[in-house]
Chains A and B, each alone.
Chain A
């Protein structure tokens, strides 16, 4: 993929929710373009709308207005089923609380996206999952269950799982929010390595001490990005 090409284009995106007191405007007329193959951050205070923005990018949520184009696909127009399949192949998501499935082993957790998306031949899936676990330095724990791993180790597995279908885009919502600083550093280093290898990684964070890892940072406040951003 051309590193100068825009992977993500959000145009006039707004998102509002119905709440008990009326309507809450989470995002207001967002215009944002993100080019591929970089590690970038979305920052903002709690309630600023950064997680909503991430949900819009991943197709987890749909905008009330505006358009979302990811890798040439008009994501906001896809149905729930199309979205699930699209997301599985195009976006890897890393959560703050890792969200590994507790009744599957580490290896099986990584194999599951391939199973859902049928993206690799059955025979290759195990090999690929092991390779990804090796990439995140956790291969020796492959047969263990998530509960046997530390938070940092679980987050590495979550990253391996996000990479399972080789998506061009990885999004992480406060991936180190639940980890100590040493482990968090190693996670950011892993993201940086992945970006170098050609992935586009968007991280929602408010941890300023890791800003050196990011090529671009988009700040969001009260649901708006002050100026149209081309990150």
Chain B
């Protein structure tokens, strides 16, 4: 073996602990990149594979009356249409342990020949017999049922009936049932009739044969088909064109995963700073040896090569450790996300470019960051190297800071010296502070965002002063019903509201929405409420709330607002097949709602000609706790049953809260995990810096000991130096975290709710970080302090 290589190995073996920390610092970054990038690559691929495996419809045309097979055949022959199917979707309710949950019933024409919006058969019947249903796999675990079980289901016009689960399916186009707090089932038309409904297939799902990813092409083709159907005497209610080829959660998921990747690179970068500071330590430690090697014939390049080889070995060890672990973590990560998105992983392989990126970044970034100390150290002149006695004292102790420290009278001499020592190597101090502050800032930011997320979710209760929303299947006069509801013990108040699905009418003759087949993602609705309502408290962002009856004023929430809209604009909304004109008087924030246009109930009633009848009830309770709400809901349900009111859906606010919370939980938790990793790397950095500071002053410590400083005093000096750096970093970290939290809260809020999360400062985060830094500083300095005290005074004085 080459003698130089033996020196590298010897040096690496000389300080296992330190080198292990360096390997760990690099490995954490590479691990993060591999885990997130691997997870991202698999999820991105599988999201597309899963979604496209369903052969999603290019568009769904909602037609007023049932679609006949003859009409369907003619649509199939329509130019530019590759496939067409007729469907129906009914929102019913299912009873689970005395509680009613929404269930979306997809009525399928031909289970054996699904061409559009396909789902994968998992078990049981493929073609569910009459009176039975196939259930989406995530709904089974949500309602704790299994194949063969019977579920009570009630559709809008039917009475509660028992339906057997005859099989299970997987539909990757739907979010998990628990997340939506709803069930999904697939039934035949005969089962729908048996449930008490009379409607036929009213949804025409089409797939275009060309330009299938062009929304413009799909829109034109759908409009042309709409014209054809209109001419054939069919009225088109709405045309739903979701973003082609894109899973409902694709863009949010991509954005969030991109942030995580940035975090991972940040960790690697921080780890590399740590490597750079440690490399600088090594160079300080080896400066004499460098001088000697140069004296015996070593050139700067040979010496730089030697330390570069050392770096390379550290990086390779870090890669060897972190790549397999990161693949395991990636598996865990994408499995979690797959569960979150109801995806089935079809191919577990992580693309080859992920380990390649890990290898490239795991070597290039540490090398780039460590290049400065490495080159500077290896280029030092022989004389300077041989003359090196550690840290220079010229000029630095005459600085303003040093003078200021001298003037602070109440400080003990030890503490004053610790303060001065902390500032002696300013470039190193800046690196360490940067490392710790970045770690702390990210940690606090993650906790702040997590808290802001929770607070924002609580706004669901603040903005909604009702506790139960009941959507009725038909409009009724609710005056007497409201009196009876208000008579239920625990009910504070009840109001009759109205609603309708809507769309922004631009140039098309049709209502075109971006709604996905689950009717939730991308939906847009009008909510009509009495202006005197005490049950809604949205946050006004611009303009004002509705205040004049019988006007066409409209207030839009953040999801309904488009970038070009401003106060005073007149917009056209399609309501029950008719275009209606509205003037925007306000914009509000309304957490957890889909896109909503709020209008006056009086105006809405006139427009739709409801004759004073409404389709929605909103009820508030005196006690808003979960338990109390559940008791009140049961009483309310019983009253509605007694009164034979046909209920479409009944949604408690806590259910909405849980559904929204479930959407981001995994991601917020992942953010926190990243933050903890950063905290760890930061503490390693502190340890490295203090070790280096102490090492450089070995001789100085010897002098202090010779002058009578006790080991205790020396230890205190070093520990206080570390704590000083730590405390400074906390202040910096806090300030940076405020900026980061502000932007990250805006970002996370905007992608989840289209409204920024309010900046929140998590006091536990500050307390935890202070704890980590103080304990970390103590632990990081106690070892160098012990080492300093282990060196005898004679050895320290002789230290070269």
Mark A residues whose CB is within 8 Å of B. 20, 55, 58, 60-61, 80-81, 84-85, 87-89, 92-93, 95, 97, 99, 101-104, 108, 111-117, 125, 161-162, 164-165
B130 on the interface (CB 8 Å rule)?
A: no
Asked whether, in the complex, the Cβ of B294 is within 8 Å of the Cβ of A84, the reply is yes
Asked whether, in the complex, the Cβ of A164 is within 8 Å of the Cβ of B3, the reply is no
Asked whether, in the complex, the Cβ of B297 is within 8 Å of the Cβ of A87, the reply is yes
Tell me, in angstroms, the Cα distance from A125 to B3 when the chains sit together.
10
Q: List 27 A-B contacts (CB under 8 A).
A: A55-B383, A60-B382, A80-B379, A80-B381, A81-B299, A81-B301, A84-B297, A84-B299, A84-B300, A84-B382, A85-B297, A85-B299, A93-B295, A93-B296, A95-B292, A95-B386, A101-B10, A102-B14, A104-B10, A108-B6, A112-B3, A112-B7, A114-B3, A115-B4, A116-B296, A125-B3, A165-B297
B14, B295, B381: residue with the most chain A Cβ atoms closer than 10 Å: B295
Complex contacts, A84 vs chain B, CB 8 Å? 294, 297-300, 382
Complex contacts, B13 vs chain A, CB 8 Å? 103
Asked whether, in the complex, the Cβ of B295 is within 8 Å of the Cβ of A87, the reply is yes
Complex contacts, A117 vs chain B, CB 8 Å? 297
**Residues from 11 to 29 in B contacting A, C-beta threshold 8 Å:** 11, 13-14
Complex contacts, B394 vs chain A, CB 8 Å? 20
B386 nearest in chain A by CB position: A60
Asked whether, in the complex, the Cβ of B300 is within 8 Å of the Cβ of A80, the reply is yes
Q: A87-B294, A116-B298 are in contact. List 14 more A-B contacts (CB 8 A).
A: A80-B300, A84-B294, A84-B382, A88-B298, A93-B296, A99-B288, A99-B291, A99-B292, A101-B10, A101-B289, A101-B292, A103-B13, A125-B3, A164-B296
B391 on the interface (CB 8 Å rule)?
A: no
B297, B302, B386: residue with the most chain A Cβ atoms closer than 10 Å: B297
Known contacts: A84-B300, A85-B299. The answer to whether A116 contacts B11 by CB under 8 A is: no
A61, A84, A165: residue with the most chain B Cβ atoms closer than 10 Å: A84
Distance (Å) between the CB of B396 and the closest chain A CB? 13
Distance (Å) between the CB of B702 and the closest chain A CB? 15
Asked whether, in the complex, the Cβ of A89 is within 8 Å of the Cβ of B297, the reply is yes
Asked whether, in the complex, the Cβ of B288 is within 8 Å of the Cβ of A103, the reply is no
Known contacts: A99-B292, A101-B289, A104-B3. The answer to whether A116 contacts B382 by CB under 8 A is: no
Complex contacts, B296 vs chain A, CB 8 Å? 87-88, 92-93, 112-113, 116, 161-162, 164
Asked whether, in the complex, the Cβ of B300 is within 8 Å of the Cβ of A81, the reply is yes
Binding site of A, secondary structure by majority: helix, strand, loop or mixed?
A: helix
B2 on the interface (CB 8 Å rule)?
A: yes
5 tightest A-B CB contacts, nearest first: A88-B297, A103-B10, A116-B297, A115-B3, A113-B296
Complex contacts, A89 vs chain B, CB 8 Å? 297
Distance (Å) between the CB of A158 and the closest chain B CB? 9
B429 on the interface (CB 8 Å rule)?
A: no
Complex contacts, B379 vs chain A, CB 8 Å? 80
B293 on the interface (CB 8 Å rule)?
A: yes
B344 on the interface (CB 8 Å rule)?
A: no
B294 nearest in chain A by CB position: A84
Q: Which of B6, B291, B302, B383 contacts A116 (CB 8 A)?
A: B302
Complex contacts, B10 vs chain A, CB 8 Å? 101, 103-104
Known contacts: A55-B383, A102-B14, A103-B14. The answer to whether A115 contacts B299 by CB under 8 A is: no
Distance (Å) between the CB of B623 and the closest chain A CB? 73
Tell me, in angstroms, the Cα distance from A58 to B386 when the chains sit together.
13
Mask of B756-800 contacts with A, CB within 8 angstroms, 1/0: 000000000000000000000000000000000000000000001
Asked whether, in the complex, the Cβ of B7 is within 8 Å of the Cβ of A108, the reply is yes
Tell me, in angstroms, the Cα distance from A58 to B13 when the chains sit together.
33
Tell me, in angstroms, the Cα distance from A27 to B4 when the chains sit together.
36
Asked whether, in the complex, the Cβ of B6 is within 8 Å of the Cβ of A60, the reply is no
B6, B296, B302, B386: residue with the most chain A Cβ atoms closer than 10 Å: B296
Distance (Å) between the CB of B523 and the closest chain A CB? 69
Distance (Å) between the CB of A42 and the closest chain B CB? 17
Asked whether, in the complex, the Cβ of B800 is within 8 Å of the Cβ of A97, the reply is yes
Complex contacts, B288 vs chain A, CB 8 Å? 99
Complex contacts, B298 vs chain A, CB 8 Å? 84, 88, 112, 116
Q: Which of B7, B294, B381, B386 contacts A104 (CB 8 A)?
A: B7
B13, B299, B379: residue with the most chain A Cβ atoms closer than 10 Å: B299
Tell me, in angstroms, the Cα distance from A164 to B10 when the chains sit together.
21
Complex contacts, A115 vs chain B, CB 8 Å? 2-4
Complex contacts, A55 vs chain B, CB 8 Å? 383
Distance (Å) between the CB of B738 and the closest chain A CB? 44
Tell me, in angstroms, the Cα distance from A61 to B302 when the chains sit together.
20
Distance (Å) between the CB of B799 and the closest chain A CB? 10
A81 nearest in chain B by CB position: B299
Tell me, in angstroms, the Cα distance from A201 to B744 when the chains sit together.
70
**Residues from 312 to 349 in B contacting A, C-beta threshold 8 Å:** none
B302 nearest in chain A by CB position: A116
A103 nearest in chain B by CB position: B10
A115 nearest in chain B by CB position: B3
A61 nearest in chain B by CB position: B383
Tell me, in angstroms, the Cα distance from A103 to B5 when the chains sit together.
11
Tell me, in angstroms, the Cα distance from A99 to B286 when the chains sit together.
11
**Residues from 419 to 440 in B contacting A, C-beta threshold 8 Å:** none
Distance (Å) between the CB of A183 and the closest chain B CB? 18
A165 nearest in chain B by CB position: B297
Distance (Å) between the CB of A185 and the closest chain B CB? 23
Tell me, in angstroms, the Cα distance from A89 to B295 when the chains sit together.
10
Tell me, in angstroms, the Cα distance from A88 to B292 when the chains sit together.
11
B8 nearest in chain A by CB position: A103
Tell me, in angstroms, the Cα distance from A88 to B295 when the chains sit together.
7
Asked whether, in the complex, the Cβ of A103 is within 8 Å of the Cβ of B383, the reply is no
Known contacts: A112-B3, A115-B3. The answer to whether A58 contacts B295 by CB under 8 A is: yes
Known contacts: A20-B394, A80-B381, A115-B2. The answer to whether A103 contacts B7 by CB under 8 A is: yes
Complex contacts, B301 vs chain A, CB 8 Å? 81
Complex contacts, A80 vs chain B, CB 8 Å? 299-300, 379, 381
A96 nearest in chain B by CB position: B800
Tell me, in angstroms, the Cα distance from A102 to B300 when the chains sit together.
20
Q: Which of A58, A88, A104 contacts B6 (CB 8 A)?
A: A104
Asked whether, in the complex, the Cβ of A116 is within 8 Å of the Cβ of B293, the reply is yes
Asked whether, in the complex, the Cβ of B295 is within 8 Å of the Cβ of A60, the reply is yes
Complex contacts, A125 vs chain B, CB 8 Å? 3
Complex contacts, A81 vs chain B, CB 8 Å? 299-301
Complex contacts, B294 vs chain A, CB 8 Å? 84, 87
Distance (Å) between the CB of A225 and the closest chain B CB? 21
A162 nearest in chain B by CB position: B296
A19 nearest in chain B by CB position: B394
Known contacts: A116-B297, A116-B298, A164-B296. The answer to whether A60 contacts B383 by CB under 8 A is: yes
Distance (Å) between the CB of A92 and the closest chain B CB? 8
Distance (Å) between the CB of B410 and the closest chain A CB? 32
Complex contacts, A108 vs chain B, CB 8 Å? 3, 6-7
B14 nearest in chain A by CB position: A103
**Residues from 264 to 322 in B contacting A, C-beta threshold 8 Å:** 288-289, 291-302
A94 nearest in chain B by CB position: B295
Complex contacts, B382 vs chain A, CB 8 Å? 60-61, 84
Distance (Å) between the CB of A21 and the closest chain B CB? 12
Complex contacts, A162 vs chain B, CB 8 Å? 296
Distance (Å) between the CB of B417 and the closest chain A CB? 22
Complex contacts, B297 vs chain A, CB 8 Å? 84-85, 87-89, 113, 116-117, 165
Complex contacts, B383 vs chain A, CB 8 Å? 55, 60-61
B800 nearest in chain A by CB position: A97
Mask of B371-387 contacts with A, CB within 8 angstroms, 1/0: 00000000101110010
B7, B13, B292, B383: residue with the most chain A Cβ atoms closer than 10 Å: B292
Tell me, in angstroms, the Cα distance from A4 to B350 when the chains sit together.
75
B11 nearest in chain A by CB position: A103
Complex contacts, A112 vs chain B, CB 8 Å? 3-4, 7, 293, 296, 298
A145 nearest in chain B by CB position: B10
Distance (Å) between the CB of B12 and the closest chain A CB? 9
Tell me, in angstroms, the Cα distance from A40 to B661 when the chains sit together.
86
Complex contacts, B11 vs chain A, CB 8 Å? 103
Distance (Å) between the CB of A222 and the closest chain B CB? 21
